[in-house]
Structure 1
Amino acid sequence: MTEHELTAPVPLCDEKGRLNPASVGWSRRQLIDTSRIGHGWYGWGRNKRWEYWGIITPTHFLAMTIAALDYANLRQIWVMDRATGIEVDAVEISALSQGVQLPGSLGDGDATSRGRAMRLAFAEVAGGTRLTAASARVSIDVVAERLPGHEAMGTAAPFSNFLVEYTVKDVDRPVHGSVVIDGERFEVPPGSSWAVLDHGRLRAPYRTSWNWGAGAGMSAGRRIGLQLGGGGPLAIRRGISQNAFTVNGRVHKVAEALVWEFDADDWLAPWRIRNDRMQLSFLPMHDRYAKTDLLVIRSETHQCFGTYRGRVRTDEGEWIELDGIDGWAEDVHNRW
C-alpha cells in the first residue's frame, strides 16, 4: 500500500470543524494544526485530547497522563518497580476542563494539569521536553531529549467527515533525570533510559478499541524505537496505518497492517505481532490492569510490560535484528 506523506503544514479541520481532506496522511515532523479539536462547541462530547508519556529506565517503568475528554479530564501518575512488580498509582478525574490546559497543536505551548492531590506539567525547553509530576508518594523530574534531525511519526485519518483523528507517536527520546518514590530517590540514567510520547487530538466514536505497542532501546549499536498500531477493521483507515519504527531517530514507515496474536486468558503468555516488515515477539513480565466504570466513561485496559525480540526491515531493505527492546503492548476497550 502507498501512503501519502505530508511535507507542508495543513489544518486537520476546516473552519466549520469538519475533516480537511488535504490533512489525511502521515508526516515525519509536526505539520498538522489541530487547534479546532476541543475548542468551541463543535463536536462537544466527542473531542478527546491527551498527552501520554511513558518512561523506560533500568529499574522502573513510569507513565504520566494528561487527558481532556470534554465532559471530564483525567490526570495520572503511575510507576512500577521492575524488580518487584510493585506499582504506585495515583489518578484523579475532574469535571469538564477544570484544572487542565493543553495546547491546540503539538509544540504550541505547555500541557499542565492540577488537582487536589497531584500536578503534572510537560514543557518544551532547550533541547527537549521537561516532564514534571508530583503526587503524595511520587515525584518525577526528567527531560526527554530531542536530538538534532529527530523524526516522529504523525498520522491524520478519519473515522468519518465528522469524526477525525491525529496522533503523534514519538518513540525513542533519550531521557535523564530522577524519580522519588516514598522518599527514595532513583536516577533516570542517560544512555539507558527512554521516553515515548503518545500525543492525541481526535473526535472519536463513543465505542473505541485498539491494540498499541511501543518500545525503545539499543540494538547492535543503533537506537531503535517501535510503534505498533492496532489490529482489526480500523487498522487501516483511508490508506493510513499507525505502524513505524525508528533507527537512530529516523522514521521507517510501515504501510501494512499488523497481525496481533495474544491470549486474553493468559496476558503474560508471549505475544506475536507481525507483518512483512515487522516480525516480533513480545515477552510480558507484568500486566497492568485497569477498569473504570463512571456511567458515561467506561474502559478496560490490559497494558503489559516486557521485552520485544525479532526483526524489522528498513526502507532500504535491511533486516535489523532486535535482541531485547523494552516496552509495552496493550489491549484497550473504551466507551467514552
Structure 2
Amino acid sequence: MATHEHEITEPVDLCLPDGSLNPAAVGWSRKPLHRANLRGWGRTKRWEYWCVTTPTHLVALTVSDLDFLALNSVYVLEYGPGGREFECSSVVPAGRGVHLPDTVAGAPGSEDVVVGPARPTGGKVRVEIRDENAGTRLRARCLTPDRLPLEADILVARPDGHESLSVVVPWSEQRFQYTSKHTALPAAGRVRIGSELLKFGGGDDGTWAVLDHGRGRWPRTVDWNWGAASGRTDGRTVGLQFGGRWTAGTGSTENGLCVDGTLTKIGEELDWHWSANDLLAPWTVRAPSSGQVDLTFTPFHNRSAHTDAGLIANRTDQCFGHYNGRIRTDDGTEIAVEQLLGWAEDVRMRW
C-alpha cells in the first residue's frame, strides 16, 4: 500500500526566509534531505538522540537545545532483575555552548557536535557526535550517581544504501517539526564504568543503533507515542519506526519499516493500545486499514521520568521490551517479527 504522502527526492530548506514553514518541505524522504534553517526563539527545539541496544545493556545519548535551556544526558540500563539503571544529566541555562547543526550531526558533510568539558565533574556531561569514514562515532563521559567514572565509545556503521525515514509534520505555518529516524544500524563499542569494561558488537551479536534527529518549532504542550526496534527476524534485518498522537490531523506520519535497508513508508495513523495503569502490560500497535503492522509489544522495564521545573514539565514512560507479530512491506512480503528488541513510549510534554 503506497503512502499518499509526497516523497521528497531533492535537498530542500525547511523554512522560508521569514522563518515560516516552506510548503515545498512538507513530505518524507528515504535519506535526510532537509536543511533546518530555523529562525525565532522560545519555540525552537533541536536534538540528537542516539540509543544503542546490545544483548545485555542499553546506552542512550542525548544532546538537546530547547532555546531557554539545553539538556544533555547519558542513560545506561542493564537488563534483568537487579540490573543497573542510571542517568547522568546536565542542564545548561540558555543552552550556552550547545550548538546543533541544520543537518544530522556527525553525518558526512554536516558538523560534529561536542558538548561539555573534556573531564566532566559536578554533574556535567561530555557528549561527542563525530563523523568518521566508517560511520558516526559516539563518545560520552560523566560520573555515575555512585561517582564512578563512565566512558562510552561507540561506532555506528553506515551500510551502503541503507534507508531512513525523514518527515516534516506541519501543525501550522509557524509550528512544525522535521524528524529523521534511522533504525537497524549495526554498532560496536565499549562502555567502561569504574573498573568494569563492557564490550559489544564487532560481529553479529545483536548490537543496533537508532537515531532520532529532531528540528522544529513546537506548540507549548504536546502528547506523543514513539516506538522503535531493530534486529534480525525471519531471516531479515528489520527496523521498526512508529509514532502516534502528535501527527494526528497533519496529513503526515512517522511510520515506516526498514527491511534489509529498504524503507516502506506507512501513511496511515496506527492504532496504539496500552494500559496507563499498568505500563508493563502488553501494548498493541496495528495499521487498521492496510494491515501492514500487527504487533504486540511486551515490556520488561519502564524508564519513568516525571518532572515539573516551571518552564518545562515532562511525564515520560519509555518502556523497553520485545515486539512480536507480523509486518508487510510495500511489495507484499510478510515478515514474522519475533522478539525484536526495542521500546514504546507515552509522553506528555510542556516546554
TM-score per shorter chain, which class?
A: over 0.9
4+ runs of 1 displaced by more than 4 Å? none
Give the one of 15, 40, 58 matched to 1:43.
40
Aligned 1:154-193 pairs, distance under 5 A: 154-190=166-202, 191=204, 192-193=206-207
Secondary structure in 2 matching 1:148: coil
Q: In structure 1, give the amino acid aligned to 2:259.
A: V
Give the one of 141, 163, 178 matched to 1:151.
163
Structure 1 residue 297 and structure 2 residue 299: aligned?
Answer: no
Aligned 1:115-126 pairs, distance under 5 A: 116=121, 117-126=124-133
The answer (yes or no) to whether the contact 1:28–1:153 under 8 Å persists in 2 is: yes
Query: Which consecutive unaligned segments of at least 5 residues does structure 2 have?
Result: 145-149
Identify the residue that residue 213 of structure 1 maps to in structure 2. 227
Give the one of 228, 238, 241 matched to 1:227.
241
Q: In structure 1, give the amino acid aligned to 2:231.
A: G
Identify the residue that residue 147 of structure 2 maps to in structure 1. none
Q: 1:178 to 1:81 in 2, by over 3 A?
A: same
Structure 1 residue 57 and structure 2 residue 54: aligned?
Answer: yes
Q: Distance in 1 between matches of 2:86 and 2:182?
A: 25
Q: In structure 2, give the amino acid aligned to 1:224.
A: V
Listed one character per residue, the Cα deviations across residues 126-159 of structure 1 (whole Å, up to 9, x for unaligned) are: 1210000011132110011000111110001211
Identify the residue that residue 99 of structure 1 maps to in structure 2. 97
The answer (yes or no) to whether the contact 1:127–1:147 under 8 Å persists in 2 is: no
Give the one of 286, 292, 297 matched to 1:274.
286
1:118 shift after superposition: 1.6
Q: Distance in 2 between matches of 1:201 and 1:166?
A: 5
Structure 1 residue 130 and structure 2 residue 137: aligned?
Answer: yes
Q: In structure 2, give the amino acid aligned to 1:82.
A: Y
Q: TM (normalized to structure 2)?
A: 0.91
The answer (yes or no) to whether the contact 2:317–2:347 under 8 Å persists in 1 is: yes
Secondary structure in 2 matching 1:22: helix
The answer (yes or no) to whether the contact 1:28–1:251 under 8 Å persists in 2 is: yes
Q: Distance in 1 between matches of 2:249 and 2:126?
A: 36
1:237 shift after superposition: 4.6
Secondary structure in 2 matching 1:229: strand
Instruction: Give the RMSD, CA atoms, in angstroms.
Output: 1.2
The answer (yes or no) to whether the contact 2:169–2:247 under 8 Å persists in 1 is: no
1:195 shift after superposition: 0.3
The answer (yes or no) to whether the contact 1:102–1:112 under 8 Å persists in 2 is: no
Q: TM (normalized to structure 1)?
A: 0.95
How many corresponding residue pairs?
Answer: 329
Structure 1 residue 334 and structure 2 residue 332: aligned?
Answer: no
Identify the residue that residue 153 of structure 2 maps to in structure 1. 141
The answer (yes or no) to whether the contact 2:188–2:201 under 8 Å persists in 1 is: yes
Listed one character per residue, the Cα deviations across residues 85-140 of structure 1 (whole Å, up to 9, x for unaligned) are: 32021111111121312112123111222155220011111121000001113211
Q: Distance in 2 between matches of 1:24 and 1:133?
A: 34
Q: Distance in 1 between matches of 2:27 and 2:160?
A: 24
1:163 shift after superposition: 0.8
1:323 shift after superposition: 1.1
Secondary structure in 2 matching 1:331: strand
Q: Distance in 2 between matches of 1:219 and 1:30?
A: 26
Secondary structure in 1 matching 2:279: coil
Q: Distance in 2 between matches of 1:143 and 1:236?
A: 35
Give the one of 212, 216, 228 matched to 1:202.
216
Aligned 1:244-323 pairs, distance under 5 A: 244-275=256-287, 276-323=291-338
Query: Which consecutive unaligned segments of at least 5 residues does structure 1 have?
Result: none
Q: In structure 2, give the amino acid aligned to 1:265.
A: N
Q: Distance in 2 between matches of 1:289 and 1:183?
A: 28
The answer (yes or no) to whether the contact 2:125–2:141 under 8 Å persists in 1 is: yes
Q: Distance in 1 between matches of 2:300 and 2:18?
A: 47
Seq. identity, %: 41
Q: In structure 2, give the amino acid aligned to 1:136.
A: L
Q: In structure 1, give the amino acid aligned to 2:116.
A: R
Q: In structure 1, give the amino acid aligned to 2:349.
A: N
Listed one character per residue, the Cα deviations across residues 295-327 of structure 1 (whole Å, up to 9, x for unaligned) are: 001101000001001111000011100111100
The answer (yes or no) to whether the contact 1:214–1:227 under 8 Å persists in 2 is: yes
